[in-house]
Structure 1
Amino acid sequence: MVRNVRMRPTLVAVLLIVIMLPGSKQGPHEKLLLNNLLSSYNVLERPVANESEPLEVKFGLTLQQIIDVDEKNQILTTNAWLNLDEKNQLLITNIWLSLEWNDYNLRWNESDYGGIKDLRITPNKLWKPDVLMYNSADEGFDGTYQTNVVVKHNGSCLYVPPGIFKSTCKIDITWFPFDDQHCDMKFGSWTYDGNQLDLVLNSEEGGDLSDFITNGEWYLIGMPGKKNTIVYQCCPEPYVDVTFTIQIRRRTLYYFFNLIVPCVLISSMALLGFTLPPDSGEKLTLGVTILLSLTVFLNLVAETLPQVSDAIPLLGTYFNCIMFMVASSVVLTVVVLNYHHRTADIHEMPQWIKSVFLQWLPWILGMSRPGKKLTRKTILMNNRMKEMELKERSSKSLLANVLDIDDDFRNITGTTSSAGNNATTTTNLGPGFIRHPTTIEDSNILGTGTFQRDLQLILRELQFITNRMKKADEEAEVISDWKFAAMVVDRFCLIIFTLFTIIATVAVLLSAPHIIVQ
């Protein structure tokens, strides 16, 4: 009870202090200001003091980040936000527009309204410029999101609507994946001509890239802006527009190590096929396997390439060259195997093949058989000796050719000569056979007819054996010639296709505007 009595004076003092404080005034200033500004405001009126003068509108654009590129659907997604649709040649952007103008109907004195310096007003209650993107491909044409307009006491209005824009863009894939893309975004008033509304760049450098975040696939070169004044065929008045050009460059490090390097490795495997011996039985299998693997690889790559026919991508041209080289290597492998397995009883080596693949081409490539070093002098001497040997064989008798002996008695027919007791006779034993002289006594003992028949049988058997041996040697030599010709073709193809692969790769890299952008 005593405690409650002591607390009563304190509560009474507090209540007296609260009652004696002056009352606070809150809220009526902004409400009053809005009522005064918008009561007589007409949203259709162009806010200029002099209708003969154009209203100046400062225009700006802000870009933040490139997010993703879907090469299969040819879509580039960005934040700030950029989305490049290469399949439909569309540039899809999510950006911040900046429109700034001065409305003389929205001015007030700060001191009259409690020091209020600015207001946020919905855009449907104010006049705002009908700035649209001319090259829009969006279904609703205007992709901006309506935000409040910031109005200051001096009449300055700032309107920053974010939005997703789809704009037409001509995509050039000639140098893919070493390509640069330049996409224009053209903004201007749709109904006001240049005499009524004048668009001015907010910054001479173009778009705002201060908050831009780098992307792993696209490198932003710049976003310059330009003011244009154009007189269209529909209207005699000049129309002003502001065009921003988004300049991006594809980063090639990914494509270089995931497309070009594997393609070069696959083509080098095709080159190794020419070093594989034909007797291994895997020469053609290796070539066909490499061709199939390259085909599968190219199908995977084709899914990422832009599907347009305006130009052939540089990467596609390179892949087609490598594909042609691998296919040609398979065809020439079949030729090599055909040459390697030819025999003398089926194929006869033409003279031009002997000259090209057994003499001149091995000499150029520095190839030679064991114990047979080829030079230009030896080639000419071998050809000369072969001609002389053919002439000599045509002039010798049959026996001399069979036994490979000198034919010193080919002009002697059966004659008899005697000199004292050593009388000798020469007997013709058959065509091409000259019997050595024997004494008359021996001739009488052996009998001339029996001796001739026995010698003819011996000669026939000897000729058969010799012919078989010569034929076997000739067949072995022909087979050896075909195998050596196949080896020469292998070496020639290895050098030619190696040079082709190196030249094609270097030509593609040197013809590109830039090689690697990290």
Structure 2
Amino acid sequence: MTTLKKMLLTGYDKDVVAVLNQSHVLNVTVIFSLLAIPEVDTVGSTIKLSAYLNLAWTDEKLTWDPADYGGIQELSLLVDTVWTPPIILGNGVTTKTIANSWHKVLINHTGVSRVALRGTFNGLCGFTMTFWPFDKQACNLFFVPLGNENIRFIFPSNPIHDDDFIPMGEWTYEQITASYQNRFYTGNDIIYTVKISRHSAFYLLTMIIPLYCVTSLGLFVLLIPCDTGERVGFGITIMLSMVVFMMVIKDEVPKTSEPLPYMCIYINITVFAAFIVNIINFVSLSLFHRNEAQPVGQRYKYLVNLVSMFSGNRTVHPEVKARKNKDDNITCLPSTPEKQLDNVLPSMRKENLEPVEHDFISEPTVKHDKIVTWKDVSNAIDRITFVTLTPLAILATIAGVVYLKAASVYPDWAN
């Protein structure tokens, strides 16, 4: 073994491409074996892959006859002692070569050399956060030869191995593809496109549903009685809670995300809606505590009557209501004068036709006018706002989530 190593490495230059004729192109077969995706940093725009980059080539300078060396068919040497393809991750965070000193090259007696470069590849990736947290991402990893080496990367029939992939983190691995790209300054590059999708259940349970609940509580502030004195504080607390959700999202998306995530737009809309509800709350409180001596305008009366019509409630003059409670017989009199006389005549006969003055004819003609107070106006505004915005908030939230889930696609360049 020692004699064989000495023979092979004597006069061997590891910095020269492993071909006897330097004008020839050396073919390097590449197989990518993906093991895991331990980290996806959408804020820092980086993705980290744990994988093997398997390389195979024929070193014309490292051949021997097994019969001359005790039948040795293969020999293992450190990458520092022989030529290996100088490959770097073109869009990596660092520019060091992939091969490390502890990697070993397995060399066959025919010169066929193989090395499995095990490492964690940390590459840069531009993420599209439009449909966050239901987003689908695609990242490219460029493996390029360092320098102007006269080599050419080729793929076997199955250039990707992902049978040993280990799922981890908040992302689902979907697919990885391999392709070539020729550049005049690097030559023949290898591009691996990784497609991943985010697990959205965590964000749905910890952010979207709580945000909807907080938004709904902002509407229920209108059901708190105005005389409790808690409405203003409750409404402001709801707005502060929404600001907290905005702070959470700020830490999840890139600061220069373009276009802006729809979820950020949704949260801004909910904050604006909470602001509008608080403004309506202030107006309602102002009307509730207004001096009753100030007359209620016709528009306010129309608003109260509209709410009463749909709710089935009716505001009756207090004097009329007291009169109805005092004499049920009068309030239950028939509506036509003829039927009223028929009911009264028997009593007149019973009293020997003595003239008795009755006011039963005039009392039913009392007009039951609605007395609208400022408190009624305040309650009507609260009801209209609550009934209008509550279903709108429900539909907007459901439609937004369904749209984000259905519309999320991979970038056009990855399809």
Q: What range is the shorter-chain TM-score in?
A: 0.7 to 0.9
Match of 1:259 in 2: 207
Match of 1:200 in 2: 154
* Alignment partners' CA distance in 2, 1:42 and 1:142: 19
Q: 2:379 aligns with which of 487, 492, 510?
A: 487
* 1:42 counterpart = 2:4: no
Match of 2:97 in 1: 142
* 1:296 counterpart = 2:244: yes
Q: 2:49 aligns with which of 93, 108, 114?
A: 93
Match of 1:337 in 2: 285
Equivalent residue of 2:112, what SS? strand
Distance 1:276 1:164, change over 3 A: same
- The amino acid across from 1:369 in the alignment is R
- The amino acid across from 1:171 in the alignment is F
* Alignment partners' CA distance in 1, 2:242 and 2:86: 55
The alpha-carbon deviation at position 210 of structure 1 amounts to: 1.5
What do the CA deviations read for 1:67-91 (whole angstroms, capped 9, x no partner)?
Answer: xxxxxxxxxxx1xxxx333333223
Equivalent residue of 1:64, what SS? strand
Equivalent residue of 2:160, what SS? coil
The alpha-carbon deviation at position 157 of structure 1 amounts to: 0.6
> 2:35 touches 2:50 (CA, 8 Å); kept in 1?
no
The alpha-carbon deviation at position 259 of structure 1 amounts to: 0.4
Distance 1:283 1:369, change over 3 A: farther
Question: What is the TM-score of this pair, normalised by structure 1?
Answer: 0.63
Equivalent residue of 1:160, what SS? strand
Identity, % of aligned positions = 25
The alpha-carbon deviation at position 514 of structure 1 amounts to: 4.9
Match of 2:75 in 1: 119
Equivalent residue of 1:192, what SS? coil
Q: 1:353 aligns with which of 276, 281, 300?
A: 300
The alpha-carbon deviation at position 504 of structure 1 amounts to: 2.2
Q: Which runs of 5+ in 1 are unaligned?
A: 1-29, 67-77, 233-237, 373-473
Distance 1:119 1:214, change over 3 A: same
- The amino acid across from 1:501 in the alignment is A
* 1:57 counterpart = 2:28: yes
Question: What is the TM-score of this pair, normalised by structure 2?
Answer: 0.78
Distance 1:316 1:367, change over 3 A: farther
The alpha-carbon deviation at position 366 of structure 1 amounts to: 4.4
- The amino acid across from 1:89 in the alignment is S
* Alignment partners' CA distance in 1, 2:160 and 2:316: 78
* Alignment partners' CA distance in 1, 2:96 and 2:40: 17
> 2:29 touches 2:55 (CA, 8 Å); kept in 1?
yes
Match of 1:177 in 2: 133
* Alignment partners' CA distance in 2, 1:64 and 1:170: 22
If asked which structure has higher relative contact order (CA below 8 Å, sep 6+), I would say: 2
Equivalent residue of 1:242, what SS? strand
The alpha-carbon deviation at position 173 of structure 1 amounts to: 1.3
What do the CA deviations read for 1:336-372 (whole angstroms, capped 9, x no partner)?
Answer: 1112222243x443333333x1344654x44542569
Equivalent residue of 1:284, what SS? helix
* 1:188 counterpart = 2:144: yes
> 1:142 touches 1:165 (CA, 8 Å); kept in 2?
no
Counterpart mapping for 1:359-398 below 5 A: 359-360=305-306, 362-363=308-309, 365-366=310-311, 368-370=313-315
Deviates more, 1:319-328 or 1:287-296: 287-296
Q: Which runs of 5+ in 2 are unaligned?
A: 318-368, 409-415
- The amino acid across from 1:339 in the alignment is L
- The amino acid across from 2:142 in the alignment is K
* 1:154 counterpart = 2:110: yes
> 1:44 touches 1:127 (CA, 8 Å); kept in 2?
yes
What do the CA deviations read for 1:137-166 (whole angstroms, capped 9, x no partner)?
Answer: 21x533542311111112111122223333
* 1:509 counterpart = 2:401: yes
Structure whose CA Rg is larger: 1
- The amino acid across from 1:142 in the alignment is T
> 1:143 touches 1:164 (CA, 8 Å); kept in 2?
no
- The amino acid across from 1:214 in the alignment is P
* Alignment partners' CA distance in 2, 1:130 and 1:216: 32
